[in-house]
Structure 1
Amino acid sequence: MKTSVEKITPTHAKLTLNVAPEDLKPYLDGAYRTIANQVQIPGFRKGKVPNQLIDQRVGREVVLDQAISDGLDNFYQQALAENELQPLSRPEADVTETPDVKDFSGDVVVVIEVDIRPEVEIKDWKGLKIEVEAAEVTDEDIDAELQSLRERFGTLTTVERAIENGDFATIDLVAKVNGEVVDEANGLSHEVGSGELLEGTDEALLTLTAGEETTFNSTLIGGEHAGEEAEITVKVVSVKVRELPEVDDDFAQLASEFDTVAELRDDLREQAAKSKTFAQVDEARKKAVDLLIEANEVPVPETMVEDEVKRHLEQEGKELDDPHGDEVRENAQRSFQQQVILDEIIKAEDVQVEQNEFTEFLFQQSQQYGIAPQQFVEIMQQNNQMAQMIGEVARSKAVLYVLEDAEVVDDKGNAVDISEFTAVVKQAREKAAEAPEEAAEEAPEAEEAKAE
């Protein structure tokens, strides 16, 4: 089979496949066998009908069509492999020439158009200078952590007064659209002022007391009526205030493993420092990707992006011309560029995903979705998404390779030590460097063993 490739754009190719008779013959033989097992001709068992009789009763055109249909995907996959093309969309194929049905002489000519991953050469990914926010732990940070801890150990006490911001109200909610109840919830506990419920709920609750109710209009944000205007009726069942424990040694012993508040504060300071370092690394990862996208031009397949925009808007029940589409389009373009760049770094550095890294990723994802790890794995396998998951882990690890070779400083010019987070990169590189040496040492031993 001969193949020619025309790059219409960096992300769209036209492949012309010339399938010679000798390449088509196995599929012609298979087509005869398939048809022989399908037709019923008196005097012959299924599968035993001679080819000549199939030609007479069914027609050589049908056999040829069956052969081309059976072989088309294999021809396409062979053409992709030979030309090192990675498809990004469903191909559109057109059979422009077929062999002579009299003797099946002549080529099958197929023209296929498909979106492909662009060829890019990544530059400027080593030696990046990345600036992140300084990780200073202040007394205010410790006080905030203590306050959060107090709130966790606080107790709710019923009060007989109007609701104020910060109170906890037990409420019943009913949502109606055009007079019809579309959703309701009873005994819902809500911290007033948190903004966690429908827009307007907190404002409507202020000044109400237990037993009172009010009605207001709001836009629903979930379910089949998402985006629709609804009449919301909220009734207050009870009003509670959270009483916080005093910060003393007794509280330190209750809320932690420490005996004194001073020890607790020291531990909170240490935890806050770690948290801020994590935040620095997260910021560095994002900025590294930003710099890579800025420094490297990656063509984006327009059709693939528009399909993603359409799918996203349809899921949200929005029209295709909704302004939100611009944001979705920008995110889709950026996501594609990021994936292409990181995949090139994976190839350049031969980034490998270790079993423990993949297991940890699957565990974290299962927690995020609130299901058991084994159940999450089964779902991914059923949907053939395991390879995609491995790709995500590899790309995340590729960013660490970029950070290992980068200069990371805070906004005050101080160097930021992220070696704890990029240690896996150093270990992987050391392992890769040792591999040729080990192979060289084993070679003489193998030769000696052969000689014996």
Structure 2
Amino acid sequence: MPGGVTTATRELSDSRVRVEVEVASEALEHELGSAARSIGRDLKIPGFRKGKVPPEVVLQRVGRDAVLDEAVRRALPGWYEQAVSDAGIAAVGDPHLDLAELPQKGAPLQFTIEVAVRPEAKLGTYKGLEVGRREPAGSPEEIDRELEGLRDSVASLENVDRAAQKGDFAVIDFTGTVDGEPFEGGEARGYLLELGSGRLVEGFEEQLEGASAGEDREVRVAFPEDYRAEALAGKEAVFEVSIKEVKEKRLPELDDDFATEAAGFDTLDELRADIEEKLRAEREREIEAEFREAVVDAAAEAAKIEIGHDLVHAKAHEMWAGTRRRLEQQGIPPERYLEISGKTEEELVKEAEPDAERALRRESVLAAIIEAEGIEVTDDDLLESLRQATAAGGVKPPSDEELTKALDRARSQGRDDALREDIAMRRAVDLLVEHAKPIPVEQAQAREKLWTPEKEGQERSEQIWTPGSSTG
């Protein structure tokens, strides 16, 4: 994105700022030309091939104001990102943009932004914090559960000459009808079903218990009101089921042969030792992640951070917006997610407020530590971060030239500052953890129960700012 964006910032009350933004006429004309070329690719005008309509002809036919309106609509998000970056603010939640009118040719574009900003933290003690840390204690029972799961994964299914019971597998043919009519998905042949698994509609599997191979049964069920196929929701169905085979799951013996066949170990003891080591490594990762969060929370607890409810609510909305984007990337309509949860968007936002406040406190104290410690992030750091992110995705390692282009794109889109802050915050957490003193969790919990005047004052403050919320 070309330059030409200037800003002036004024602080408002309640952790909000107003940013006055001016986009130079040259930058505006550049976006106008880009929009005209884009529109021209789809415009059909006699005498010009499709996609070859010159920008000046587009401006004549469509009108400068209409093209300028489209240009501003497309460029505004980028201008907003650049304005926020240039103003040096950490915006929280959705901004309110006020664009009075589109300018005449040769004049700059002016608009204002009002947005909540992350509060500043007045640091307390943040080095040498004593924080509870769990020990990676395991148990033989955990290893046994893993072994049972492995046994189950390599179990065999063998035909039995008896009536089916819960836990057995049945090979069935079935045909279902609703109001006497067949429906999509209501028929199958050679279907392998574990009785008691709950894979089919409630009541179906239970009605097959006691059946033997070669037997036919009529199964009656009712689809739940919230069934995923709306045409069947709340309807009663009748299935004609033919039991072809009844199979019993046979688990292998827990011995050296099992260890060899299932996992490639010579002995069962070697397999148990390997499982124990993997469980320990997994617990270590979990404990380390917990400890890092607890250290940041302890630093935030020691700092003075004033956060109003409006700011918490804005952050909760921002978090929900992130959830929406992730759902859409996964092909899940957010509306469907809301339907399944049985809650409205505003209810989910309200539920997210405690997490939103916690996130604001963490971000605020880390930002203050970055400034206090003079933590800086270079372009080389950004390139290495992009390289690691690409490697984590399992794709071919990019060349230095490709990484540089990716960084240039991030910079042109105003995203490089966010990348720098992310790296800086991780380094701030590293610093906190490096200087923290792990103590037994029981000792840390006992300290939390002790009364201090500071805690009482904080509790009162929290009641003023976020009534009824939890900051655990």
CA contact (8 A) 2:28 2:109 kept: no
- Counterpart in the other structure of 2:162: 161
SS in 2 for 1:219: coil
One-letter amino acid matched to 2:143 = I
In 2, distance between residues paired with 1:112 and 1:7? 13
Shift, 1:358, TM fit: 1.7
Deviations for 1:233-274, whole angstroms, at most 9, x for unmatched residues? 664553322112222333333234433333333333333333
Q: Say whether 1:305 aligns with 2:317.
A: yes
Indicate how the Cα distance of structure 1 residues 180 and 406 shifts in structure 2: closer, same or farther if over 3 A, else same. Answer: farther
Shift, 1:325, TM fit: 5.4
- Counterpart in the other structure of 1:93: 98
- Counterpart in the other structure of 1:112: 112
Q: Where does 1:1-16 land on structure 2 (aligned, <5 Å)?
A: 3-7=8-12, 9-10=14-15, 12-16=16-20
- Counterpart in the other structure of 1:146: 147
- Counterpart in the other structure of 1:252: 259
One-letter amino acid matched to 2:8 = T
Q: Where does 1:39-118 land on structure 2 (aligned, <5 Å)?
A: 73=76, 79-86=83-90, 88-89=93-94, 91-95=96-100, 110-118=110-118
In 1, distance between residues paired with 2:66 and 2:344? 50
- Counterpart in the other structure of 2:50: none
Indicate how the Cα distance of structure 1 residues 217 and 323 shifts in structure 2: closer, same or farther if over 3 A, else same. Answer: farther
- Counterpart in the other structure of 1:315: 336
Deviations for 1:165-217, whole angstroms, at most 9, x for unmatched residues? 33234456778788672544734444444445555555455444444352322
CA contact (8 A) 1:97 1:108 kept: no
CA contact (8 A) 1:85 1:116 kept: no
Indicate how the Cα distance of structure 1 residues 86 and 130 shifts in structure 2: closer, same or farther if over 3 A, else same. Answer: closer
One-letter amino acid matched to 1:362 = G
Shift, 1:301, TM fit: 5.0
In 2, distance between residues paired with 1:340 and 1:119? 8
CA contact (8 A) 2:18 2:115 kept: no
In 2, distance between residues paired with 1:165 and 1:392? 56
Count of paired positions: 372
In 1, distance between residues paired with 2:65 and 2:344? 52
In 2, distance between residues paired with 1:26 and 1:278? 49
In 2, distance between residues paired with 1:313 and 1:323? 11
Q: Specify the structure having the higher radius of gyration (Cα).
A: 1
Indicate how the Cα distance of structure 1 residues 63 and 4 shifts in structure 2: closer, same or farther if over 3 A, else same. Answer: same
CA contact (8 A) 2:157 2:248 kept: yes
In 2, distance between residues paired with 1:154 and 1:260? 19
Of 362, 366, 388, 1:345 maps to 366
Consecutive unaligned residues in structure 1, runs of 5 or more: 41-45, 364-372, 375-380, 415-452
In 2, distance between residues paired with 1:215 and 1:208? 15
In 2, distance between residues paired with 1:173 and 1:393? 55
Indicate how the Cα distance of structure 1 residues 82 and 327 shifts in structure 2: closer, same or farther if over 3 A, else same. Answer: closer
Q: Where does 1:219-230 land on structure 2 (aligned, <5 Å)?
A: 219=224, 225=230, 228-230=233-235
In 2, distance between residues paired with 1:250 and 1:320? 47
CA contact (8 A) 1:162 1:206 kept: yes
CA contact (8 A) 1:153 1:244 kept: yes
Q: Percent identity?
A: 22
Shift, 1:321, TM fit: 8.4
Indicate how the Cα distance of structure 1 residues 242 and 341 shifts in structure 2: closer, same or farther if over 3 A, else same. Answer: same
Deviations for 1:298-338, whole angstroms, at most 9, x for unmatched residues? 53353971893796752336399836853454337626853
One-letter amino acid matched to 2:284 = T
Shift, 1:232, TM fit: 5.7
Shift, 1:156, TM fit: 0.9
One-letter amino acid matched to 1:181 = F
Tell which has more relative contact order, 1 or 2 (C-alpha 8 A, sep 6+). Answer: 2
CA contact (8 A) 1:174 1:183 kept: no
TM-score, scaled relative to structure 2: 0.56
SS in 1 for 2:88: coil
CA contact (8 A) 2:313 2:350 kept: no
Indicate how the Cα distance of structure 1 residues 166 and 25 shifts in structure 2: closer, same or farther if over 3 A, else same. Answer: closer
CA contact (8 A) 2:7 2:87 kept: no
- Counterpart in the other structure of 1:445: none
In 2, distance between residues paired with 1:48 and 1:254? 74
Indicate how the Cα distance of structure 1 residues 249 and 9 shifts in structure 2: closer, same or farther if over 3 A, else same. Answer: same
